[in-house]
Amino acid sequence: MNKGYNEFAKQKKTLFRRPPQVKSSKAQIHTKFHKIPEIKFEDQQLTSFSGLLIFQLFFKRIELKDKLKKCFSNLKVSPIFGHHLVVLLLIIHLILGFRRLREIDYYRDDPLVLRLMGLKKLPDVSTISRSLSQMDTQSIANLRRLSRLFVINGLQRESFGRLTLDFDGSVLSTKGHAEGSAVGFNKVKKGARSYYPLFCTIAQTGQFLDMYHRPGNVHDSNGAADFMLRCFKKVKSQLPGTIIESRMDSAFFNEEIISLVSENHVKFTASVPFVKFAELKKKIEECGAWNEINKKWSYFETQWKPKSWNTEFRFVFTRKKVKQQQKGPLQLDLFIPLDLEYDYKVIVTNKTDAAKAVVLFHNGRGSQESIFGDAKTDTALGVIPCKRLASNQVFTIASMMAHNFSREMQMVAHPAASRAKHKRPAAWKFKKLDTIRHQIIQRAGRLIRPQGKLTLTMSLNQAVKKDLLHFMDVLQKAA
């Protein structure tokens, strides 16, 4: 028996033995290049953005051009370059990673961009600026509606059991004097004029649902109640049966907003500002028993309302152990005594979950800052390119749509991860648009017609081939 087993082990070892690694010589690796090639510029069908092919498929699937055209049907002016083409060009411009309008000159002859636009030539920068300045309030409202519709269509496809809507403002600064901008709180660029739009984002998909444009000198809660109510109603009407949740910071803590959210059967949490309510500090001082959540966090809760309010809500008081900053010279001993102090926070909610789940859920709202950061870095959300208010609003919506489309493509191409998590993180492991840009979109290629068949040839790179063909296969099946 042992002899037979040993023989089998030898055969197995021989079968699964790795092939020997052949070591390359220096001559096979290194070479010398001295001559600098001459440069020639010729009119050829060369593209720097071969990966745009997947966006051509995606835009065709969602009928983007036709739907954009309907947004501007109210405008009587009918230029050669329609308003819908200008907005489509802005979206492509931002997907490619450009920020300023004049940078269109660097790719205006790219054949794949022209094919994606359905044009033989791109409009001049002056034409784009003039078209943007002709946008009216109705056109912008239609464009916002379309942007919202694309997001809701994706949510309907994914059939989420619950959706988390986060609300917050983000400062968009400008060095110039753009129409409708104002000097307000701006910790990064003090004294700069800015806009301060209020955004609604979807935590599960990392997308922008809608935007309410405002000047830079308003409070966070300015116009928030009506905007939030519209967002809740739109989502509920399109996604009946879905549990709607919301998270807000202390700027939204007032009776009007809290009561409105609660009355519309939205499960919410909101930070409570300590400065306005001295009673909260007294409650913390009088608490003799804190319930432990984990080694850092503990809590207690009570039903309470400010004196001027009519309704009581559940208030969860939390404290977190933090390291106390040591001042003065440190002891150079092996063991340094460490002092701890507590950081306190109060959350108001109508959720009936355990306090631990409520705290984790509310703390997850920090993911919205990541959405703002990605959009400002990858799709120029923070750029104010024009002097006209309407032009800048359209640019911001185009930025939101470019960001949303990059997320939507990944949602279609890859399965979602686990959705049942307390902090409500994104249900996909999204790549940043900048990463997709470098890995797939910015690839050189040539359009040729061997035997009359249109063909895009690219350099053979297995990683690019795998990713590009995967996206194309998924989008063609989904069409």
E strand residue ranges, 170-296: 172-174, 182-183, 193-195, 198-202, 207-212, 243-248, 267-271, 291-292
- Between 115 and 274, the more confident residue is 115
The least confident of 77-81, 228-232, 267-271 is: 77-81
Give the Cα-Cα-Cα angle 296, 297, 299 (nearest 5 degrees).
155
CA dist., res. 158 & res. 412, Å (int): 9
Using one digit for the tens of pLDDT, what is the confidence trace for 151-183? 999 999 999 999 999 999 999 998 888 999 998
**Contact assessment for residue 392 and residue 132, using Cβ atoms and an 8 Å cutoff:** no
- DSSP line for 108-175: TT-HHHHHHHT-SSPPPHHHHHHHHHT--HHHHHHHHHHHHHHHHHHHHHHT-SEEEEEEEE--EEES
- Between 71 and 33, the more confident residue is 71
- β-bridge pairing 193-195 and 172-174: antiparallel
Q: Does residue 43 register a pLDDT over 70?
A: no
Using one digit for the tens of pLDDT, what is the confidence trace for 350-373? 999 998 899 999 999 989 999 999
Phi and psi at residue 117, to the nearest 5°: -80, -25
pTM listed for this prediction:
0.87
CA distances from 161 to 19, 164, 196, 244, 354 (A): 51, 10, 32, 9, 19
- β-bridge pairing 162-169 and 455-458: unpaired
Nearest residue to 234 (alpha-carbon basis) of 266, 257, 258: 266
Using one digit for the tens of pLDDT, what is the confidence trace for 310-364? 899 999 999 888 876 666 555 555 444 544 578 889 999 999 999 889 999 999 9
CA dist., res. 395 & res. 383, Å (int): 8
Contacts of 251 (CB under 8 A, 6+ apart): 219, 220, 221
**Contact assessment for residue 316 and residue 310, using Cβ atoms and an 8 Å cutoff:** no
Residue 337 CA to chain centroid, in angstroms?
43
Q: What pLDDT score does 19 carry?
A: 62
The pLDDT of 424-436, averaged and rounded, is 93
Highest mean pLDDT among 7-21, 38-52, 133-147, 271-285: 133-147
CA dist., res. 370 & res. 407, Å (int): 14
Burial (0-12, 13-18, 19+ Cβ within 10 Å), 273: middle
Q: Which long-range contacts (CB under 8 A, 24 or more apart) does 415-421 make?
A: 416/158, 419/160, 419/161, 419/204
Using one digit for the tens of pLDDT, what is the confidence trace for 273-288? 977 888 888 888 888 8
Q: What pLDDT score does 138 carry?
A: 95
Q: Does residue 49 register a pLDDT over 90?
A: yes
Residue type, 299: Y
DSSP 215: B
